[in-house]
Amino acid sequence: MHTRRHLIALSLATTMLAACSSVPPMTDRPPIVFMHGNGDSAALWQTTLWRFESNGWPRDRLFAPDQPFPLARDDDSVAQPGRSSTAESAAFLKAEVERVLKATGAPKVVLVGNSRGGNTIRNYVQNGGGNQVVSHVVLGGNPAHGIWAVKGLREGSEFSGLSPFLQRLNAPKNAAGDEVTPGVKWLTLRSDNNDKYAQPDGVWIGAKGTATHIGFDGPALKGATNIVLPGVDHRETSFSPAAFDATWRFLTGQAPRTLQPAAEPTVTLSGRVTGLGLDPLDPSSGAFANNLPLTGARLAVHAVDAATGVRRAVPAWEQTIGADGRWGPFTGQPTAAYEFVLSAPGYATTHIYRSPFPRSSAVVQLRPERLAEADRDAKAVVIFTRPRGYFDLQRDAVSFDGKRELPGVPPLGAGVSSSKLKLASDSPRSIAAEFNGERVAGQSWPAAQGHVSVLELTY
């Protein structure tokens, strides 16, 4: 635990790392395509991209695409608005790989996937011709044998170990019974027992006390190099320093020179602004994430005081989002804290506070919030979120507005990545949140005027 906190603290010491920012590029490195997981976006790979760059992997050989509809279908064989099938997901990856090969002239690529992204990669390599153009695969927290394998429980889902999809993927490929496609080098990364989607009990799928018939070793694959990362949660199997370390060693045969981002003198930030979709056949079912552009949204970027979240001056950047959903590029400072303000019809005006960006990034994806009906009684709403991992109150040093307890986060286990604070006053004030050495501060805004604040962790 102390080692883990030390690594996070190092990542925040951007000024001390500035001298390490000139790392000779390794121009012979193959391109890497990173595939995000269920309901996620390319943004989750931000720190991983920084770590690769800081160890000399050329920035123009790192690719993290957004799948338009990242959520899996409830039943893979039944069309569902706003969701993608395993075949659609594999076709998306195939097109991305072909685009990368054409752009770089490389003969082969490396594929790195988190969670559902691993299903997509395995499907593409096994059934979409990927075995001809992929040299290495790294799978973090991939539910390779399902999240559950219970007769009668959504057996058509790609997350069921009994699904036709996973049964085909896991069928033996040779006399040794290997589950991985030959001709490609495979690495799986899993937790020892802290991955919410590799649990023998169904607590995280709403079936506490019911056996899932999936073990902690569910993400491991016969025929692959299988590594256990003690204590990590589901997302940290891909986005933690330990995951990067294992990935770098697998790809290069050497230890990385650093596990943390090396600061640049100035940073250029850009990304996409996306929204939340509704099922046109059942709008009452609630919103779901997609990676479609939120055309017409307004974005303003303010430099803020890192200790309080108070704005320092007029907006440093303002933009109306076009049809491609892109925002930026915005040039900033690696030691500055920023507030990103998003406004769009049908959404709350969302104030996203971030800790400093030590390096440039083209995957600063932004999405406004909707004010939930259950929160209409609040004078102000502040969300504390950790996109690249979960909160574990026994494992982590965490506080939200000065309190150790996080609303909505259970005292045991790593399965929730956000916490919501409902304030009884609409008077603006500073709200701070901390996680293992990273601190983010922002301001509260009146909910009655349609505002929501988000304190978003980077690490």
Query: What is the per-residue pLDDT for 32?
Result: 98
For residues 80 and 290, is the Cβ–Cβ distance under 8 A? Answer: no
Q: Phi first, then psi: give them for residue 448, nearest 5 degrees.
A: -60, -25
E strands within 85-162?
A: 109-114, 134-140
Query: What is the per-residue pLDDT for 12?
Result: 39
For residues 91 and 128, is the Cβ–Cβ distance under 8 A? Answer: yes
Kind and range of the H or E run holding 5: helix 2-12
For residues 238 and 112, is the Cβ–Cβ distance under 8 A? Answer: yes
The DSSP bridge pattern shows strands 349-354 and 451-456 to be parallel
Query: What is the per-residue pLDDT for 254?
Result: 97
Joined tokens for residue 255: 């230890």
Q: Which residues, at least 6 apart from 329, have a Cβ–Cβ distance to it below 8 Å?
A: 268, 269, 270, 362
Side chain identity, residue 325: G
Q: Which residues, at least 6 apart from 365, have a Cβ–Cβ distance to it below 8 Å?
A: 41, 42, 43, 66, 271, 272, 273, 274, 291
Cα angle at 227 between 224 and 232, to 5 degrees?
A: 135
- Among residues 364, 306, 302, 310, the alpha carbon closest in space to that of 339 is found at 302
Rounded Cα gap, residues 320 and 367, in angstroms: 14
Kind and range of the H or E run holding 165: helix 164-169
Task: Please say whether the dihedral angle defined by the alpha carbons of residues 182, 187, 193 and 197, taken in this order, is positive or negative.
Answer: negative
Query: What is the per-residue pLDDT for 267?
Result: 98
E strands within 305-379?
A: 317-320, 326-332, 337-343, 349-354
SS3 call for 446:
strand
Consecutive sets of 10 residues in the chain, 459 residues long: mean pLDDT of each? 41 35 63 97 98 98 98 97 97 98 98 98 98 98 98 97 98 97 98 98 94 98 98 98 98 97 97 81 62 98 98 94 98 97 97 98 97 92 98 97 96 95 96 98 97 98
pTM of the model: 0.93
Joined tokens for residue 117: 């992204």
Query: What is the per-residue pLDDT for 256?
Result: 98
> How far, in Å, are 323, 362, 380, 398 from residue 423 at the CA level?
36, 34, 5, 19
Rounded Cα gap, residues 443 and 456, in angstroms: 13
For residues 178 and 222, is the Cβ–Cβ distance under 8 A? Answer: yes
Cα angle at 153 between 152 and 158, to 5 degrees?
A: 120
For residues 364 and 328, is the Cβ–Cβ distance under 8 A? Answer: yes
For residues 122 and 198, is the Cβ–Cβ distance under 8 A? Answer: no
Query: What is the per-residue pLDDT for 288?
Result: 76
Query: What is the per-residue pLDDT for 187?
Result: 98
Torsion of Cα atoms, 217 then 219 then 223 then 226, to 10°? -70
Q: Helices then strands (H, E): number in the chain?
A: 8, 22
Q: Domains in the chain, start-ordered, CATH in brackets?
A: 22-252 (3.40.50.1820), 267-456 (2.60.40.1120)
